[in-house]
Amino acid sequence: MDKQDIFGQIDGIEERMGATYAELGVLKKQIIILIEENKRLSIENQQLRKLIRQEETTVEQPVGAAEETVSLPGAGYDNLTRLYNEGFHICNVYYGHLRTEGDCLFCLSFLNK
């Protein structure tokens, strides 16, 4: 084997490794998207189960029982609170992104205003 053949083989290996790294990067991005979607769907599923349980307990109450009413600042506040509870950021820094690491101080300070 001469030197030219060895360098040719090394170049081929480098090209294949570069293509493999690019393919790995694409797969990594797809996995991130799937994980975020799975998390979002899990949170949505939990919220729907909670709503179903609440509706079941409301239906099981006697006819004469009065429901409690809570006064909240407004519909916009309700929507932001719901989004935050579903696992999304409502702060101006990460608005709409999925919260993957617990509570966000920016979001909480916004809710407490």
Q: What spatial distance separates the first Cα and last Cα of the chain, rounded to whole Å?
A: 75
Cβ atoms of 106 and 91 within 8 Å: the answer is: yes
Task: Mark residue 60 as left, alpha or beta (left: phi above 0; alpha: psi -120 to 50; beta: remaining).
Answer: alpha
Is residue 21 annotated as involved in ligand binding? no
Is residue 104 annotated as involved in ligand binding? yes
Known binding-site residue numbers: 89, 91, 104, 107
Known binding-site residue numbers for Zn(2+): 89, 91, 104, 107
